[in-house]
Each structure stands twice: as C-alpha cells, then as structure tokens.
Amino acid sequence: MNGKINLGLSEDIRKKISTELAALLADEYFLYLKTLNYHWNITGEAFFSLHGLLEEHYEWLKETVDSIAERIRALGYIAPGSYKQFAANTHSSENDGNLTAHAMLEDLVVSHEAVINKIRDALEGMEGSRDFATQDLLTRILGEHEQKTWMVRSNLLKKPG
C-alpha cells in the first residue's frame, strides 16, 4: 500500500471534516469529564437516582468520544488525545463540582445544548460533502444528546409540563 486514502472524499473535505470533528471531540470530552465530576459529587434527596442517571450519561459520552476519535482516524487524520489539545479546541466551560444538584443539572442542560447546536452546525456544513458515514454518526449522536438533555431537564421540573 502506498498510504493514499481513497474514500471517495477529497483530501480537503476529509481535512475540513476532521478539523470539525476534533473540535466536537474536545467538547464531548469536556462534557464527559463534567458529567463524571457531577456523578461523583452530586448530593441531595435525589442522590441515588441522579448518581445513576449521570453514570449512564458519562458511559455513553465515553463511547461517543471514542466513536468520534475513530472517525477522525478513518478519515486519515490523527485524533487529538491530550488534555492540552482538548482545552485548546473546546468551547465548553469547566466547573469544580462544588455546586448544588440543581445547578449541576442546569449546567449539564446548557452544556448538552451547546454540543447539540455545534453538531447541527457541523451537519449543515457537511451538506454536499458526500461524507455520509460522518453525517450518520453525528445524526445518531445528536439524537442521543437531545434525549439525554430531556432526561436531565426533566429532573429540574417541579411539576409535569
């Protein structure tokens, strides 16, 4: 093999999409860390159920991070993997976990919504690229984020609505 990649996508398209995926990977990783942090540090009346919910979410985020990194590799580029690289590429904010359960959940809703909007922008930017595999991956991730956001948001409601 000569190392040339022929996926039916130009190198420019692959590079552009990989760069977009690297930024998303950083945001997903920071959301993973934040969710894990909140899982460890949440307290209150609903501790047990929220602790379990957050565990389910960080496990899903761990798989999501892996899927995005592997897609970058499939496109022929090196996936960023250091904290320094993630910090340089993320749009997410950090918290130390010293928040009330309510504040943690509010922060997770905002963080998920930011990622949702980033994914929508990325998908819109890929129109016409013919990178159906990345579009499919991001569409599935988008749906999962929307579901996870709904679950977290539902814990913030005082009454059905």
DSSP string, 50-116: HHHHHHHHHHHHHHHHHHHHHHHHHTTSPPP-SHHHHHHH-------S-S-HHHHHHHHHHHHHHHH
How far apart are alpha carbons 109 and 150 in whole angstroms? 8
Give residue 39's identity as a one-letter amino acid code.
H
For the ranges 9-23, 59-73, 84-98, 133-147, the lowest mean pLDDT is seen at 84-98
Cα 155 to the center of its chain, rounded Å: 21
Residue 8: its pLDDT value, please?
A: 85
Residue 87: its pLDDT value, please?
A: 76
Whether residue 1 has pLDDT greater than 60: no
Sorted by where each begins, the domain ranges of the chain are 42-154
- Report the share of the chain in percent with pLDDT over 70: 93
Whether residue 146 has pLDDT greater than 70: yes
Whether residue 160 has pLDDT greater than 90: no
Instruction: Report pLDDT digits (tens) over 47-97.
Output: 999 999 999 999 999 999 999 999 999 999 999 988 888 878 777 776 666
Give the confidence band of 7 by pLDDT, cuts at 50, 70, 90. Answer: confident
Among residues 107, 97, 109, the alpha carbon closest in space to that of 41 is found at 97
Q: Selecting from 1.10.150.120, 1.20.1260.10, 1.20.1630.10, 2.60.15.10, what CATH number does the domain 42-154 have?
A: 1.20.1260.10
Query: Between these two residues, 152 and 87, which has the higher pLDDT value?
Result: 152
- Mean residue pLDDT of the chain comes to 91
Whether residue 2 has pLDDT greater than 60: no
* Structure-token pair, residue 86: 């993630």
Cα 59 to the center of its chain, rounded Å: 12
- Report the share of the chain in percent with pLDDT over 90: 76
Among residues 65, 71, 67, the alpha carbon closest in space to that of 19 is found at 71
